[in-house]
A and B are shown apart, each in its own frame.
Chain A
Amino acid sequence: MLLLGNAGHYIRPPTLGELYGTSPTVRGTPTLVAENGQNLDAGVRLSKEGQTSTDLAAHLEAFVFSRWVNDLIAYQRTSFGVIRPFNVGSARFVGIEIATRAVWLNHLRHDLTVTLLDPRDTTDGNALTNDILPFQSRMMLSNRFEVFSEPAWSALRLDRAAIALRLQHRSSRFADPAGLIVIDAHTTFDVEESMDFFDRSLSVRLALRNLFDQPQFDTVGYPLPARSYHATFEAWF
């Protein structure tokens, strides 16, 4: 078991994209000022290895974090149908992040990451009833279950073969400071397959993203592609 902690002060200048835009729909704001704040994190890391390779091995990380920010760089929609960054007078983030991994029987693996977040606009004189910051989901979750074999098939020089099912969830979020426009929550399932050959110098990966063709949205609320197929080939030498 390991206990960890961190306290700090940071300054984050706006990026070029935030200053001058990155696309016709994501505009820049040249008058942005640097964000600054204090952060405080504390957490625990636990690991348990099995006595043999087939025993249950587990790993857990749990952290609580908080951040107090002045001039937070956040995004908002404009009446022209584009989004643009702006400085929030002051903001406060409090959250928990949990990551677990379990491997059992040398063939089953489970990874779970969850982030719970409470993002609040704490600007003095803010008259809005809603103080939850726009475009910030209060929960993000990734849950992956994998069946693997390692080594898989020595005759083919196949070092590792795996197939996995991944669930990703993002809770609903506001698209405006007043909290009137809601970007719906979305949950997607992906199927992933990977094979590593020749001492892992050659990899083939296939993925079917968004298996059930659910509507999904990016960080700022624009729609993302529906069901999609991906193939990757990597060679290391």
Chain B
Amino acid sequence: MLLSKLGSSDRKRSTRFAKAIVVVTSMATGTAIATNACNVESPEGTGGTDVTAGACGRGIIVVNSDYQSTNLSLVAIDGTVLSSSFLSSASTASGLSAPLGGDVVTPTQWQRGDEIVLLDRYPASVLTWVDVRSSTPTGQLSLATGFAANPRDYLLLNPTKAYVTRYQPNLAAGTGNHDEGSDIVVVDPLTRAVTTRLSLRSAMQDAPAVYYPYPDKMLRVGNEVAVLLGAYSSDFMSSASSRIVRIDPQDDRILEVVVLDGMHGCTELALSPSEDEIAVSCSGEFAGDSVATVAESGVVLVSAKDEWKERRRFPAAKFGLGPLGSGLAYASDTTVVFTTAGELTEAGDTKREDALLVVDTDSGQFEVALRSSAKPFTFGNVRCASRCAVCFVADASRSAGVVHRYEVNEMGFLGERQEIIVDRTIGLPPRHLGWF
């Protein structure tokens, strides 16, 4: 029927048909053009750096994040921005099979080699090796083994061996290799593979069975390794005292467990410049609340000479600024820099700001160096290089996000401050710092 009608079309109708075809074709062409024009594109990275390491390494890696996506910047020791977008969540085209998520950190340890390691914690659970010069990812390793393992720290022991702490226990373990979680996995950085795992369950013998070890930061102390363990129930509603586990990396054997009695939610670990003392920062117990308890929070100093034992502690109540935050570093052998966490009212207004403090570990004298400018929970990591008398602090609120660079004076306290805007490419605020 249709064909018969087409056959009987007169000239006028043919002209209309031609017009209709022209209109439809024009629309289709316009559509094709608009299709490309309307796509969105992520910004390009600014590459790596070939700066050579000095007495204090090459500088700091700044992790800028809004907890949804991440951008990494590189900053020299003198505060010069070496690369504002070294690698980011947009870097899928450069070889990442798993793009960076919103919960990325760097190891506590200095990373002096040609590659730096990134830990994409939760839920991705992926290690990523990146070439410093080209900013190209050279390898990735998933540590999920069937569950969101939440890797927290990476410690390179030798070219073929590294420790990685996995924070999360796997309550449904038994379906794959190394799938128990709440442990240390031994990784071969050359083959990018897990070789074995080290259970930390025995470090919890003094605590009720409901508490799991939640391994967090690690440090190399001489020939041994210090691992910080949180102790929580699987629903995080209650906790036990945190502890430091002393491990011999030659045979992956636990040598000693130092229980930090009454200190809960310990998350940060720092080594003194003379390497004979460890400082631990404890946030307290959250128990389902957004504000931790002050009574279980503080800074603990542990002697790391022959026998590891607690030397001194500074409860958070001493400072009167709330529980401790996520920053901790030695500015000198006798001064420790740390942060406290602020608080919001129920309406979401600022009740108490974050604070940056320095305490003299011999005299106990302390001073508040800085407070957050607008919102709490915006002070991030603290890193200090005593050899170069400098400290860096991540601040996500001041000037929409800066890294503070402090000169350290001869007393070990913080002196002149410089604000560095490190991420001019994307504009994410700095949260975490690492050495490279």
Residues of A in contact with B (beta carbons under 8 Å apart): 31, 54-56, 58, 76-81, 100, 102, 104-107, 110, 112, 114, 116, 125, 127-130, 132, 137-139, 141, 143, 147, 149, 169, 171-182, 185
Contacts and interface: CB of A to CB of B under 8 A. Distances in A.
A104 B13 CA distance: 10
A149 B3 CA distance: 12
B259 interface: no
Contact of A79 (B35, B101, B428): B101
B24 interface: yes
27 contacts: A55-B13, A58-B20, A79-B102, A80-B122, A81-B123, A102-B20, A105-B5, A114-B31, A127-B427, A129-B43, A129-B426, A139-B34, A139-B38, A141-B35, A143-B28, A169-B35, A172-B39, A174-B40, A176-B66, A176-B102, A178-B69, A178-B89, A179-B90, A180-B69, A180-B90, A182-B40, A185-B35
B17 A178 contact: no
Interface string B119-160: 000110000000000000000000000000000000000000
B38 A176 contact: no
Contacts of B88: 180
Nearest to A58: B20
B102 A141 contact: no
Given A79-B103, A143-B31, A169-B35, A127 B17 contact: no
Interface of B: 1-2, 5-6, 13, 16-17, 19-20, 23-24, 27-28, 31, 34-35, 38-43, 66-71, 88-90, 99, 101-103, 122-123, 348, 400-401, 425-429
The 3 closest A-B pairs by CB, nearest first: A127-B400, A139-B38, A138-B38
A105 B17 CA distance: 10
- The SS class assigned to the B binding surface is loop
A171 B19 CA distance: 29
A90 to B, nearest CB: 17
A128 B85 CA distance: 13
Contacts of A102: 20, 23-24
Given A79-B67, A116-B34, A180-B71, 4 more contacts: A143-B28, A171-B38, A181-B69, A181-B99
B38 A180 contact: no
Contacts of A77: 68, 102
A179 B43 contact: yes
A139 B99 contact: no
A137 B38 contact: yes
Given A105-B5, A149-B1, A112 B40 contact: no
Contacts of A149: 1-2
- The SS class assigned to the A binding surface is loop
Which interface residue of A80, A105, A176 has the most chain B CB atoms within 10 A? A176
A43 B89 CA distance: 41
Nearest to A171: B38
A80 B123 contact: yes
Which interface residue of B5, B16, B427 has the most chain A CB atoms within 10 A? B427
A121 B133 CA distance: 35
A147 to B, nearest CB: 8
B42 A182 contact: yes
Given A125-B400, A128-B428, A181-B69, A107 B2 contact: yes
B204 to A, nearest CB: 26
B428 A116 contact: no
Nearest to A149: B1
Contacts of B90: 179-182
A125 B34 CA distance: 31
A166 to B, nearest CB: 14
A54 B66 CA distance: 60
Nearest to A50: B16
A79 B6 CA distance: 60
B244 to A, nearest CB: 27
A179 B101 CA distance: 13
B69 A104 contact: no
Contacts of A127: 400-401, 427, 429
Contacts of B35: 139, 141, 169, 171, 185
Nearest to B401: A127
A182 B93 CA distance: 12
Contact of A105 (B2, B24, B99): B2
Nearest to A98: B27
A158 to B, nearest CB: 14
Nearest to B104: A79
B425 A105 contact: no
Contact of B40 (A54, A132, A147): A132
A141 B103 contact: no
Given A55-B13, A56-B17, A104-B20, A141 B69 contact: no
Contacts of A181: 42, 68-69, 89-90, 99
Contacts of B1: 107, 149
Given A56-B17, A176-B68, A116 B40 contact: no
A169 B236 CA distance: 45
Contacts of B41: 182
A133 B351 CA distance: 31
A104 B40 contact: no
A180 B40 contact: no
Contacts of A169: 31, 35
B429 A180 contact: no
A95 to B, nearest CB: 11
A50 to B, nearest CB: 9
Contact of B42 (A55, A138, A180): A180
